[in-house]
Structure 1
Amino acid sequence: MSLVSMTPATAGIYNQTVFNEMINEINNVKNEVEFRSLVTKLQAMSAPSFLAFIAFEHTTPTSVECKLYGNPPSAINQLLLSEEIHEYCHNESSPISLSQFGSLYPQHLYLLPVHAGHNEHGAFLLQIQDPHDVEHLCWYWSSIATYLIHAYIKLAKQRLVAITKRERDCLLWACEGKTSWEISQILGVSERTVNFHLSNCIEKTNSSNRLQAIAKCVVTNII
């Protein structure tokens, strides 16, 4: 059964079969168009509780790209992508009422941070009318969140620069503080070849030097 045909009234958002089908669809998302469509389906089948998914993607050690999937109230779209929201989602894992970030946020909207590894995090925006339901609903959505963020990470990696295996090997040893000569001895190639691979990495990542290339590759999980 497709997610688009499911509603709490017909299938039950907490039904195990519905949950398994949901996870299967998440795992089979192949591109960002499908991902965006999937979030819309999740929103439709779970209305009114689930409103949006926020993805935070590090592009450099100091730069974060925020993307919003779903249809939250238009009046708070930009507020959801604020630095304050990102800081909370980066550092915390407990659900929080958006009203705690200011009076512009409705009290019945909650933010559920999602973490899935190094520099990989996002958040769910949930609409919960009764505060007594917060723990239960967030527990349910946190089980889905891990799958959703991993699906997003998989798609994000498809957009990364094409670093070859040999370039990656050179970067990994450079991360360990090895010089080009030391890397050449470890990999059994010439020092000139190592410098060639590292220069390619610098160019591919639009970096100024190998240290910046390493930093970019670390935060984007290339290495």
Structure 2
Amino acid sequence: MQNPNALGAADGVPGRWIAFGVLLGAGFMNLLDLTIVNVALPSLQTAFNASTSQIEWVVAAYILVFALGLLPAGRLGDIYGRRALFISGVVVFTIGSALCGFATSIETLVAARVVQAIGSALMTPQTLAFVPALFAPREQGVAFALGGLSAGLASVVGPLLGGLLIGADIWGLGWRPIFLVNLPFGVLAIMMALKYVPKLKPQPNMGN
């Protein structure tokens, strides 16, 4: 098997499209969650009898922690390895999703959203960093384009799926399925990443 650290290898890394599919799938789940929550805000406000400022923190806390965590997470990927950080991110995000789904107050929901955001920040920069490691230069543009397509699709599907899940009131759970739906996909992403995403040699001196 070719060395995944040989950036821009002539033919890319064997199994690269499967590995990238796993990375994109987890990223899609992450972006889907970001947009799906916006549809649920009125339901969340009613369920928790929350004020407008309190409900705004369901989104704001996530965005703030995610934005602040991106750069440190990218650096941690350099030091400890992209695969390890990516899988850790999916694990944390999935745990955060479970905590959100079982939240009993607006405060615990916001705290759980922070956990989700930490997981999202851990996985996101690793996905982008895998592109030059997995693909030959001629394929990298296609990979980045697919990443953009996935992000755009998530922004469209999220609100639609959120509306369907809340409207269906599955098992009388109301808004909770918008978070719980991440659990099976998160577990699947972890299993697939362990099997198909290659290990990259840590590069602790990168950027120095």
Per the TM superposition, whether the score is higher than 0.5 is no
Bigger helix share: 2
Question: Which is higher, the Rg of structure 1 or of structure 2?
Answer: 1
- TM-score after normalising by structure 2: 0.28
- TM-score after normalising by structure 1: 0.27
Between the two structures, name the one with larger relative contact order (CA 8 Å, sep ≥ 6). 2
Bigger strand share: 1
